[in-house]
Structure 1
Amino acid sequence: MNKKIVCTIEARMGSSRLPGKVLMSLAGEPALKRMIDRIKKSKYINEIIVATTINKKDNKIVDFCKSYKIKFYRGSENDVLRRILEAAKASRAKIVVVLTGDCPLIDFRHIDEAIEVFLEGKYNYISNALERSYPDGFDVQVLSLEVLEKIDKLANDPIERVHSTYYIYRHPEEFKIKNIKAKGKMYWPNLRVTLDEINDYKLINILFKNLLPKDPFFSAKKVVEFLLKNPKFLKINQKVRHKKTEEG
């Protein structure tokens, strides 16, 4: 029997640095819609579920999901690990692709590569961001439901609840881990294409406006190539400080 593969997307309106970012317009569509459209191109994902919170602010995300007929789950705002686990269980997932709503440029090709490595059966946690080699904003994690259940039982530090897989980062010896490393021009660990601050938004909006007309599902490689050809745009968000995990 095939194991159901579900993609969860952590999303909430209450971002400390850019409130409402997941619904900000990117070339005419909400960021979350852009992200979901890209994920839908995956060969392997059976279902996408937006994991949002019970906070009233996130009614807007629920309304968005209803209007676009996207599944959603509402859980704890601060216990993200439990929220993701419950969303995965609600979807009857066996394999979970964990994504965050601040990655609207996510590349389904990276997702499928990670899933393929997972399906080989040698590992129970796959990531392309355990050691940063790809630009920040293309982060993919794939793990089994059993691993999610395990870390839910073991993670006691509040920071391990806020960041759903942080327990794995701290205790890699307890898991069969594979980190997928970027190759060639994709190796650009200092590049930011994640949506955290207004200047990140300005850059990402430019990327969508320039790349969408040529290919609605443009690759991460095309993003990198565009920025290599147009380095002036790199200045837009180069001063944005990377948020440390311990800051929540």
Structure 2
Amino acid sequence: MSVAILQARMSSRRLPGKVMAPILGMPMLARQIERIGRASRVQRLVVATSDRPSDDPIAGLCERIGVACFRGSLEDVLGRFTAAVRAYPADTVVRLTADCPLTDWRLIDECIALHERMNADYTSNIIERTYADGLDVEVMKRAAIEAADREASAQDEREHVTPYLYRHPERFRIVHMRQDADEAAMRWTVDNEADLDMTRAVYAALHSKNPDFDRHDVLKFLQANIRVAEMNHALG
């Protein structure tokens, strides 16, 4: 069984409250949840946010749309993530972040399948990147993330979830998910207003025609619409 933990918070430094920014009338977080929900290999989705009052809107959204929400430390992100895994246990854990509303559920399924086929401790497409920034997927064994939570002490290893795992390949079996095309320079994440404008333009063009649009549809659209593709280029 696999559980996807989707990290979300309101306190983004560059674009505060971005996860609740509307995209075609729905909060960005809800749009991403909608897309993750199509992944056939994810049995449960949990939004992990902080216990600070500033993140109450995230918890409220989860309640309204019927998605599990776990709340924990704002600063100790690894501790919050691992506590969410303990609350919603599964052998396979998928880590996703809420600033990726163009996430592709097919990639999530492919990464889980690769992880299980290779009997890996940690599998991702972010270390040796060939996919666009914003299509990030990390998959790990529950035992591996439990070990990281017990042993990681460096500040950046607590503020982020997985560095302890991929910094110790002598201990954990690390698998990299790659594709032949190198699209690593593309920016499909949302960190600033320009990113949000680009994402809204993609949704406006694609969603009404096909709510199931995937990364290939996004790439085709951006290649045909250079103005949109370059909206966030200067700030990337």
Q: Which residue matches 1:24?
A: 21
Q: How far is 1:168 from its partner?
A: 2.1
Query: Does residue 1:147 correspond to 2:135, yes or no?
Result: no
Query: Does residue 1:191 correspond to 2:196, yes or no?
Result: no
- Give the match's secondary structure for 2:189: coil
Counterpart AA for 1:20: G
Q: Distance in 2 between matches of 1:123 and 1:169?
A: 12
Q: Which residue matches 2:220?
A: 225
Which one of 206, 210, 220 corresponds to residue 211 of structure 1? 206
Query: Does residue 1:76 correspond to 2:73, yes or no?
Result: yes
Q: Distance in 2 between matches of 1:173 and 1:237?
A: 38
Counting only pairs closer than 5 Å after superposition, residues 1-248 of structure 1 correspond to structure 2 as 4-184=1-181, 187-241=182-236
Residues 80-113 of structure 1, C-alpha deviations (whole Å, 9 max, x = no match): 1111111111112221010001111110100000
- Give the match's secondary structure for 2:49: strand
**How many residue pairs are counted as aligned between the two chains?**
236
- Give the match's secondary structure for 1:172: coil
Residues 166-198 of structure 1, C-alpha deviations (whole Å, 9 max, x = no match): 1123222321111111233xx211111101101
Does structure 1 retain, via aligned residues, the 8 Å contact 2:122–2:166?
no
Q: Distance in 2 between matches of 1:103 and 1:22?
A: 9
Counterpart AA for 2:149: D
- Give the match's secondary structure for 2:46: strand
Q: How far is 1:217 from its partner?
A: 1.6
Q: Distance in 2 between matches of 1:89 and 1:158?
A: 22
Q: Distance in 2 between matches of 1:28 and 1:172?
A: 44
Select between 93-102 and 114-123 the one with higher mean Cα deviation: 114-123
Counterpart AA for 1:138: L
Q: Distance in 1 between matches of 2:58 and 2:123?
A: 28
Q: Structure 1: any 5+ residue segments left out of the alignment? A: 242-248
Counterpart AA for 2:57: K
Q: How far is 1:236 from its partner?
A: 1.1
Q: How far is 1:43 from its partner?
A: 1.0
- Give the match's secondary structure for 1:173: coil
Q: Distance in 2 between matches of 1:192 and 1:51?
A: 24
- Give the match's secondary structure for 1:174: coil
Does structure 1 retain, via aligned residues, the 8 Å contact 2:223–2:229?
no
Query: Structure 2-normalised TM-score?
Result: 0.97
Does structure 1 retain, via aligned residues, the 8 Å contact 2:22–2:28?
yes
Residues 116-167 of structure 1, C-alpha deviations (whole Å, 9 max, x = no match): 1122143111101111211100000011110000111221111011110011
Q: Distance in 1 between matches of 2:89 and 2:178?
A: 30
Q: CA RMSD in A?
A: 1.1
Counterpart AA for 1:206: A
